[in-house]
Structure formats: structure tokens, C-alpha cells
Amino acid sequence: MLRRIIAGTAVAGALTLGVAGVAGAATPGSGSTTSTTTGTPSAHACARMSKVEARLQKFEANVNARIPKAEAREAKLRAAGNTTRADHIATRITKAQNRESKVNARLSKIEAKCGTTSTGTGTGTGTGSAS
């Protein structure tokens, strides 16, 4: 179950990076050795933002629905004395939440460059213990 969460987070990151990659690739080169990702995204990349946001919101809804289940499983394992497995689940929950935060930060950065506003992407809701 958590593998799907992590895999989905990776997919969302790839989608976000795909938009950033298109934006960076569409920037005209000045002939210098500076990074091309500091330019403005292409019109095509900005036009795709709404589709990327919709896919990301759908993914986040799935992740946010699964995290409480994983946290409950972690608590059950801790209560049963299986701290090794519980720690493993807590680590995976934390990684999924961190990845979600990074994806949202990238999306915000791209939105700022395109001049669009977010329609309410999540910021992660889990409160899993990592101890």
C-alpha cells in the first residue's frame, strides 16, 4: 500500500519536473553557461499547468487518504511490540510527506513563473511519528 503512495509521489514529481523541463528547454539560449531554468516558461508549459494541477490534486487526495491508514497500522504494530516494522512504516510515511512538500514547492515555483495561481494543492496532512 505504501509502495503505491511512494510510487505515486514519484509520478507526481515526474509530472512536475516534466513541466519544468519543458519550460527550461523552451527558453532561448544566450550562449553563456548559465542555467536555462531561470527564464520564463513557454506558453505551452503554462497552458498545461491546469492539467498538471488537476492530476496532482487527484494524486494528493489519494495519498492523504492512505496516510492515516498507514499511521494506524504503525500504531498497531507499536502496540504489538513490533517496533522495527513500525519504524519502517514511519520512515516511509515521512518520505511520502517530504516528497509531497517538494512537489508542491516546485509547482508553486512554476506557477509564479507562469503568473497563475494554485487551485488549492495540499500541503500534507499526516502527523506520523518518526521515532
Residue-wise pLDDT for 1-43, tens only, equals 666 777 677 776 666 666 555 555 555 554 444 444 556 667 7
- Cβ atoms within 10 Å of 94's Cβ, excluding its own: 14
C-alpha cell at 85: 516494522
- Amino acid identity at 21: G
Q: Which residue has the cell 512554476?
A: 110
Helices (H) then strands (E): counts for the chain: 4, 0
User: Please, is 56 exposed, middle or buried when counting C-beta atoms within 10 Å of its C-beta (0-12, 13-18, 19+)?
Assistant: buried
Q: Cβ(96)–Cβ(71) under 8 Å?
A: no
* pLDDT recorded at residue 73: 95
pLDDT in tens, 79-96: 999 999 999 999 999 998
Q: Which residue has the cell 503554462?
A: 46
pTM of the model: 0.53
* pLDDT recorded at residue 130: 45
